[in-house]
A and B are shown apart, each in its own frame.
Chain A
């Protein structure tokens, strides 16, 4: 479960995120939308501990990400908007490294990496150094790393950039299947058709403020209206 309570982030005189409050329940697939520079990535960075909020609190499974960061981060998997890796390490070494940081014992880690290789079809390049990877390869390695410790919350910033259609399908199916098993997903994206396909709930942020929230279920489907609504709200 994710909860943001009156979160504000200022950079000098500029307010990037202004008094945002959100509550995302367990197993929910949440889409976070907004135009460029609206405050999506800043919010995500506060949620994952990369930025500290100027005021307000970010809770993940009841733990304050900034006051009690280790248990909060233990339950988060994070996929940043740019999938930067250590250029001199191979994909497999990167996964071992991340697994080590999450304190997964080596034997267990070996099995989990084998499972990731299968799930994200990364076997062909996992033993090559990251400096040789394309954007899509990096993205798949980072997704594998984020799910390696079986997190309860997944925070994703633009998950499908650089992925070919087959890889995108793999990722979408994997995420949908995991929400069915109780994974909470907080996803920021510009791809509205992905939101329509995957998300249970959306919020639109503009100039650092939440301007709209909507739920999608059997009774209320977006059915292609999301783009019109988004353009109208953010103009």
Chain B
């Protein structure tokens, strides 16, 4: 126990020194983080409060149905925390140099595991915890709950709920590493992706929200009564169900049933802690060795992926410096499985989205609904661009890593290096974004004006978000961090992502009224009036160009800092 306290104390001191750094640059960074995180938290609080009010007093869905929807939301939250922890856990528990250092000390392996798990959990889940807290505050304030409700729910419900997700992640990870040592990491990763996609699909097909609404509404107006048979049996064994049940029974003032669910949650957490620690005691060290062995056994790419024209030493179309940078980036990307596998996964989700859209009837005759459907599809595109930019563009400066000395000491201008990164990233993001925007808008409504508007706005969004992520990635660069996933889940990355969401919010605000007017003219009067959309598209262009120049200026000035 002393060992754990000692190491955690060092980590906490280091964290506090970082937070309580009063130099002007650090102060500016910390204040900006506080403002953006605080702003987003307030936004989520207001949204959560308004949504709760709307569903209960306007839509009259009743407490029971409301908490079933809450349960589904919590399931997605659980999977997000679980996956986030699993991905970052691999880097923290198996690839970190700190673990190598601690393994060389006379410290119990179980204690190293506990320290690194705690480190990992708070590193990868702190943003989600903040999000959960803001949601909880919005929800509780609607019901005018007393102050101790928030304390109990945060520390005894929400935190244990997230810890369960994190502990399950690390248990699965230890088992997976054992399997990976037999079948290889690539097949294993492909298996995990399929498993999680299947889990999400099965959950929502078995707890189908449309079916649920129909079933509950059959009993209207007595929907508050609890019809246990409506829940699929397996759902009762999921942590999200216990949390939503705890909240439901608290709201209907039945403390006995609420505490039953609370005790179940805490007992399961305690059981999982015992299992994880026992597994770590007998297996963590062996799995760490297995992971080291697996890394040293370099996989070979399939023969069709040799791409000889991309090999170094071939004459290219670009000038020597650009050619060298391009080939380096290409091979460094495709030789890191976590990079190309994530890209493939995102493209797979994109295909699923497009196929799903194809089966929906989206041509609506109500202007407001048509505006909403257009904006939802456009926002999905924006969200995809923001995610790809965060995952692949944000870490690109950090991934120059310790080897950046060879670029910094070479006769190549840093502006050229930076703009090379921007151009290659922008081309990739633009291609994916435009493909989605054009195809999905064409599916939405057979109207060339809308396709042009979507394509133009997507180009502007890609320009702004790629440059913002590159600039922020340079500003928050961590050359020591070798793992792109950890870079993309750092505090700076979370801040950038929240900034991207604010930008997308502004784009939607600019579009919503003129777009609604355009659909009114089109649907009610049969008159396509593109002039309604000229000004908002121009405004989005100006906003994006300003974002591009500001981000590039920040990125260029910070990339030139002492290395």
Contacts and interface: CB of A to CB of B under 8 A. Distances in A.
A103 B320 contact: yes
A93 B331 contact: yes
Interface stretch (A84-92, A204-212, A226-234): A84-92
A76 B320 CA distance: 18
A100 B324 contact: yes
B324 A76 contact: no
A70 B21 CA distance: 36
B401 interface: yes
Given A50-B408, A88-B331, A103 B321 contact: yes
Given A52-B562, A98-B406, A104 B331 contact: no
A78 B296 CA distance: 29
B328 A50 contact: no
A28 interface: no
B411 interface: yes
Given A86-B328, A89-B332, A70 B411 contact: yes
Nearest to B328: A97
A7 to B, nearest CB: 14
A100 B408 contact: no
B10 interface: no
B411 A96 contact: no
A113 to B, nearest CB: 8
List 10 tightest A-B contacts by C-beta distance, closest first. Answer: A100-B324, A84-B402, A96-B312, A101-B410, A88-B335, A73-B411, A74-B411, A78-B409, A103-B320, A70-B411
A106 interface: yes
20 contacts: A69-B411, A76-B409, A78-B409, A84-B401, A86-B401, A88-B332, A88-B336, A89-B331, A92-B313, A93-B331, A96-B312, A97-B327, A98-B410, A100-B321, A101-B321, A102-B410, A103-B319, A103-B321, A106-B314, A145-B406
Interface string B474-492: 0000000010000000000
A2 to B, nearest CB: 14
Number of chain B interface residues as a range: 20 to 34
Interface string B287-321: 00000000010100000000000001111000111
A48 interface: yes
B335 A73 contact: no
Contacts of A132: 296, 298
Contacts of A86: 328, 332, 401, 403
A131 B296 CA distance: 8
Contacts of B411: 69-74, 101-103
B563 interface: yes
Nearest to B23: A12
Contact of B313 (A45, A89, A110): A110
B332 A82 contact: no
Contacts of B148: none
A80 interface: yes
B402 A93 contact: no
Interface of B: 23, 296, 298, 312-315, 319-321, 323-325, 327-328, 331-332, 335-336, 401-403, 405-413, 482, 562-563
Interface in A29-58: 45, 48-52
B413 A100 contact: no
B398 to A, nearest CB: 14
A51 B408 CA distance: 10
B419 to A, nearest CB: 15
A74 B409 CA distance: 9
A68 to B, nearest CB: 11
B312 A92 contact: yes
Contacts of B406: 94, 97-98, 101, 145
Nearest to A106: B315
Contacts of B562: 45, 50-52
Contacts of B410: 73, 98, 101-102
B420 to A, nearest CB: 11
Contacts of B312: 92-93, 96-97
Nearest to A96: B312
A49 B407 contact: no
Contacts of B313: 92, 96, 106, 109-110
A72 B413 CA distance: 12
A99 B325 CA distance: 11
B405 A78 contact: yes
A153 B328 CA distance: 26
Interface string A141-158: 000010000000000000
Contacts of A145: 406
A103 B409 CA distance: 14
A165 interface: no
A51 to B, nearest CB: 5
B315 A85 contact: no
A131 to B, nearest CB: 8
A45 B319 CA distance: 28
B403 A85 contact: yes
Contacts of B324: 96-101
A181 B313 CA distance: 29
A208 to B, nearest CB: 16
A129 interface: yes
Contacts of A224: none
Contacts of A51: 562-563
Instruction: Select the residue from B323, B331, B403, B407 with max chain A CB neighbours within 10 A.
Output: B403
B336 A84 contact: no
A222 to B, nearest CB: 31
Nearest to B413: A70
A196 to B, nearest CB: 28
B296 A101 contact: no
Contacts of B336: 88
Contacts of A78: 405, 409
Contact of B405 (A70, A74, A80): A80
Contacts of B409: 48-50, 73, 76, 78
A98 B327 CA distance: 12
A103 B562 CA distance: 24
B331 A105 contact: no
Contacts of B23: 12
A106 B318 CA distance: 12
Interface string A1-45: 000000000001000000000000000000000000000000001
